[in-house]
């Protein structure tokens, strides 16, 4: 299959293409060429190729100008839609006849506004590039210029830079100080975070441990809160800031327990003293207060041994 050259540079009517990016054929068999480099639309016709849209040779957003045409399409009524890449717009041009049906001729009738500062079907859209794109971020100011390819330049506020003022060089950014900390700019282009209660650190990232130097008594457990601490007392027997207070019932139980302990100790001491006293009387003074008692007990044991028990058995006789 061999290719046929349809159009070349310096063809009929002085058409010179520069970076053609797409083609489309209408219902009459006419060829439409997106001449992106020249910012125009070329159409073939009975008399050769002619410019039909964007033919004034200048860049802009007026109704008869294109900025950077990228794609082209027809609707069922033959109206032509052009996607303009740089201006981020889709432009509509009215066609006098239906291009989807073969007719003898067709031509474009671009919408034009009496005030060239506006475009659109109702002439209500500003043709100013800054108004349409609103490219400047962070409260930057957009100004029209011919000094760059964008057609505009952004004047950025203090501490912002970049083509669209998108770079933030402020010492204090929205998330510089976390956990509700307040960022304060310092004279040497640094910052200081004023942390909320319960937080510390360069960026308020550390939670303060209020239990670090706190001791809860009676096996209580310290729990760190947002701005203070609390001793969790075990059971219901203790209370107070440090679990240092005991309930009345616990106090009574402790007193009773101590009383029984004292009684037992006193009893043991008395027994020991009694035994020591008996030994002193026996070995130092030859006085044995329990001698008579022991002799009496021995006699009873001898009597039991000398009088054996007699088992009596009774027999009943009829």
pLDDT digits (tens, 9 = 90+) for 291-308: 777 777 777 777 776 666
Taking residues 279-290, report their average pLDDT: 74
141 band by pLDDT with thresholds 50, 70 and 90: very high
189-239 pLDDT, tens digit per residue, is 789 999 998 899 999 999 999 898 899 998 899 998 888 899 999 878 888
Residues of the chain with pLDDT > 90: what percent?
A: 19
Q: What is the largest CA-CA distance in the chain?
A: 169
239-255 pLDDT, tens digit per residue, is 888 898 887 776 667 77
Predicted confidence at residue 167, as pLDDT, reads 93
In the chain the first and final C-alpha atoms are separated, in Å, by 153
- Nearest Cα residue to 23 out of 6, 38, 48, 46: 6
Mean pLDDT (the chain, rounded): 80
Is residue 2 classed exposed, middle or buried when 0-12, 13-18 and 19+ CB atoms within 10 A define those classes? Answer: exposed
* 12-112: CATH architecture: Beta Barrel (2.40)
Predicted confidence at residue 260, as pLDDT, reads 82
C-alpha distances in Å from residue 224, one per residue of 180, 211, 213, 235, 308: 19, 6, 11, 20, 84
CATH of domain 133-168: 2.10.25.10
Is residue 122 classed exposed, middle or buried when 0-12, 13-18 and 19+ CB atoms within 10 A define those classes? Answer: exposed
210-258 matches 133-168 in CATH topology: yes
160-184 pLDDT, tens digit per residue, is 999 999 999 888 988 899 999 999 9
Helix/strand/coil (H, E, C) string of the chain?
A: CCCCCCCCCCCHHHCCCCCEEEEEECCCCCEEEEECCCCEEEEEECCEEEEEECCCCCCCCCCCCCCCEEEEEECCCCCEEEEECCCCEEEEEEECCCCCCCCCCCCEECCCCCCCCEECCCCCEECCHHHHHCCCCCCCEEEECCCCCCCEEEECCCCEECCCCCEECCCCCCCCCCCCCEEEECCCCCEEEECCCCEECCCCCEECCCCCCCCCCCCCEEEECCCCEEEECCCCCEECCCCCEECHHHHHHHHHHHHHHHHHHHHHHHHHHHHHHHHHHHHCCCCCCCHHHHHHHHHHHHHHHHCCCCCCCCCCCC
> Domain ranges in the chain?
12-112, 133-168, 210-258, 275-307
Predicted confidence at residue 311, as pLDDT, reads 63
128 band by pLDDT with thresholds 50, 70 and 90: confident
CATH of domain 210-258: 2.10.25.10
Taking residues 57-83, report their average pLDDT: 80
């Amino acid at each position: 299959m061999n290719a046929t050259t349809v159009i070349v540079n310096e063809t009929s009517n002085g058409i010179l293409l520069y970076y053609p990016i797409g083609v489309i054929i209408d219902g009459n068999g006419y060829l439409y060429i997106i001449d992106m480099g020249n910012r125009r639309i070329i159409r073939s016709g009975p008399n050769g190729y002619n410019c039909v849209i964007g033919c004034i040779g200048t860049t802009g957003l007026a109704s008869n100008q294109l900025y950077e045409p990228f794609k082209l399409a027809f609707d069922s009524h033959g109206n032509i839609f052009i996607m303009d890449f740089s201006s981020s717009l889709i432009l509509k041009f009215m066609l006098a006849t239906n291009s989807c049906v073969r007719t003898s001729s067709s031509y474009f009738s671009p919408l034009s506004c009496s005030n060239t500062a506006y475009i659109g079907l109702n002439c209500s859209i500003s043709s100013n590039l800054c108004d349409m794109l609103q490219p400047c971020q962070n409260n930057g100011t957009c100004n029209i210029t011919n000094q760059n390819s964008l057609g505009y330049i952004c004047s950025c506020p203090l501490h912002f830079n970049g083509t669209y003022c998108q770079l933030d060089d402020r010492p204090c950014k929205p998330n510089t100080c976390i956990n509700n900390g307040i960022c304060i700019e310092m004279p040497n282009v640094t910052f200081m975070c004023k942390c909320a209660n319960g937080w510390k650190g360069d960026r308020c990232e550390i939670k303060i441990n209020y239990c670090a130097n706190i001791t809860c008594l009676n096996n209580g457990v310290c729990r760190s809160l947002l701005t203070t601490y609390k001793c969790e007392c075990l059971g219901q027997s203790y209370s107070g800031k440090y679990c240092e207070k005991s309930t009345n019932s616990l106090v009574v139980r402790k007193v009773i327990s101590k009383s029984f302990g004292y009684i037992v100790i006193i009893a043991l001491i008395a027994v020991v003293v009694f035994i020591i006293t008996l030994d002193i009387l026996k070995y130092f003074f030859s006085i044995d207060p329990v001698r008579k008692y022991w002799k009496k007990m021995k006699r009873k044991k001898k009597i039991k041994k000398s009088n054996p028990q007699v088992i009596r058995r009774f027999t009943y006789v009829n």
